[in-house]
Amino acid sequence: MSDMHRHPTRRRVYARRASVFGGFVALLGTIVMSGPTAQASPPTPPSAATARTQLASLTVKTEGTTDGYSRDKFPHWITQSGSCDTREEVLKRDGTNVQTDSSCKATSGSWYSEYDGATWTASSDVDIDHMVPLAEAWKSGANSWTTAQRQAFANDLTHSQLIAVTDNVNQSKSDQDPGEWLPPRTAYHCMYARMWVSVKYTYDLSLDSAEKSALSGILNGC
């Protein structure tokens, strides 16, 4: 006869311990599974090799002017789903543990800005950057688009055109291209160039010679 058969009380103790241990393992699994999620990001652009090929195919010409340009000609932050507009969708996508209210406004969470390496816990400190700025797009060919085409460009969640970053860094970028401005965080330059080229290639936008030279230099070092 086994020891546990000789001692039914001890058997109950072992069963109780096993139950407690099993519950602890289940709880531990729940804690691990529900822990902070990894930082999300925009759709991944093509590789540096592909970006170099795409860059070579783009039209190079003198940049146009902003004559006739207005942000209103690029209707942005349109409704994407339910009560969520484009800005709110990007905040949810690019943030960590983002909580929203019934109007889809971010009430808590954290956002890591790839441009400068800063982390923010207030959505008001975060801007949604258009990788290829609206005015830059206008000077590169979007001036001939329809309003519907410009709206699609300004709210594009499918390509690497929108990214949540530190607000004042985005403001320092303004409408400058990579020949004039690059993110302060140099470790992101390769990704930035890949994203920029991908957007220009997708929308068949031109680039000027200084812009192409800067992009080529970055991509050749990726």
- Encode the chain in three state secondary structure: CCHHHHCHHHHHHHHHHHHHHHHHHHHHHHHHHCCCCCCCCCCCCCCHHHHHHHHHHCCECCCCCCCCCCHHHCCCCCEEECCEEHHHHHHHHHEEEEEECCCCCEEEEEEECCCCCCEECCHHHEEEEECCCHHHHHHCCHHHCCHHHHHHHHCCCCCCCEEEEEHHHHHHHCCCCCCCCCCCCHHHHHHHHHHHHHHHHHCCCCECHHHHHHHHHHHHCC
CA pair distance 213, 207, nearest whole angstrom? 10
Q: What is the pLDDT of residue 40?
A: 65
Q: What span, in angstroms and rounded, lies between the C-alpha atoms of 158 and 90?
A: 11
**What are the residues facing 166 on neighbouring strands?**
126
Residue where the block lists tokens 């004559």:
67
- C-alpha angle 218-179-89 in degrees, rounded to nearest 5: 80
> Tens of pLDDT along 31-89?
222 233 345 689 999 999 999 999 999 999 999 999 999 999 999 999 999 999 999 99
pLDDT at 39: 56
Query: Residue 94 has what pLDDT?
Result: 97
The token pair at 60 is 């190079």
Please give the single-letter amino acid code of residue 81. S
186 with 33: CB under 8 angstroms? no
Q: Are the C-beta atoms of residues 163 and 198 closer than 8 Å to each other?
A: no
Q: Share the mean pLDDT of the chain.
A: 87
Distance CA 182, CA 186 (A): 8
* Average pLDDT estimate for 199-210: 98
pLDDT digits (tens, 9 = 90+) for 157-193: 999 999 999 999 999 999 999 999 999 999 999 999 9
pTM score, two decimals? 0.82
